[in-house]
Chains A and B, each alone.
Chain A
Amino acid sequence: DAGVTQSPTHLIKTRGQQVTLRCSPISGHKSVSWYQQVLGQGPQFIFQYYEKEERGRGNFPDRFSARQFPNYSSELNVNALLLGDSALYLCASSLGWTGLHYEQYFGPGTRLTVT
């Protein structure tokens, strides 16, 4: 079975631009979560979606938004990019919606560089 997939692998954008990152979960998983990982740090939680509804949001500005589609794939959008948005963006899928009880399966990530 295919694991979590993310696209694109790498992305270079200019300050002020907008970016869309995509994620496809493992088949049968209904929850998708997004994380930002700055080099040398642990992943920081951005959003969780379950059954197409937002179930959790981390401490990120409104420039960050996401959605989940009927096939459970997801997109993360970031508007008005800042240099500080440069990071590895990880997508994870899980069977259930609560991180308290379900392990997450991660994709390979999208490396975003903002210049």
Chain B
Amino acid sequence: AQTVTQSQPEMSVQEAETVTLSCTYDTSESDYYLFWYKQPPSRQMILVIRQEAYKQQNATENRFSVNFQKAAKSFSLKISDSQLGDAAMYFCAHDMRFGAGTRLTVKP
């Protein structure tokens, strides 16, 4: 069965600093996308960034970027210049499966 693993239940970062959230996945597919979603305390899940597996270039979306290692099946999210509004649960997703999430706290 395909699985998604997030090994960091909680992470903390100082405002304006950089933090990296980890994710590993298991898949038998060769052509697929990977996603990071954010779920703030309001609980509306929103897409942060996506990565196409056939693209070697790591996806970037403003302050958010990924480090995609296809052979290692690793897909980490880097948040640069962290802001108070980044505080939320972050979920890594592959196909219809989500990781357990990482709760990110941003300290002022």
Contacts and interface: CB of A to CB of B under 8 A. Distances in A.
Answer yes or no: are A and B bound together in one complex: yes
Contact of A42 (B32, B44, B101): B101
Contacts of A92: 45
Interface string B35-62: 1010000111111001000000000000
Contact of A108 (B35, B37, B44): B44
Instruction: From B6, B45, B96, name the one whose CB has the most chain A CB atoms within 10 angstroms.
Output: B96
Contacts of A35: 98
Contact of B100 (A41, A88, A101, A105): A41
Main secondary structure on chain A at its contact with chain B? loop
Given A106-B44, A106-B45, A101 B32 contact: yes
A98 B47 CA distance: 17
Chain A interface size band reads 20 to 34
Contacts of B95: 98-100
Interface string A84-107: 000010101000001111111111
A109 interface: yes
B94 to A, nearest CB: 8
B46 A106 contact: yes
Q: Which 7 A-B pairs have the closest CB atoms?
A: A106-B45, A42-B98, A45-B96, A99-B95, A99-B96, A100-B32, A43-B98
Given A101-B31, A109-B43, 12 more contacts: A33-B96, A45-B97, A56-B96, A88-B43, A90-B45, A99-B93, A99-B95, A100-B33, A101-B32, A103-B33, A105-B47, A109-B44
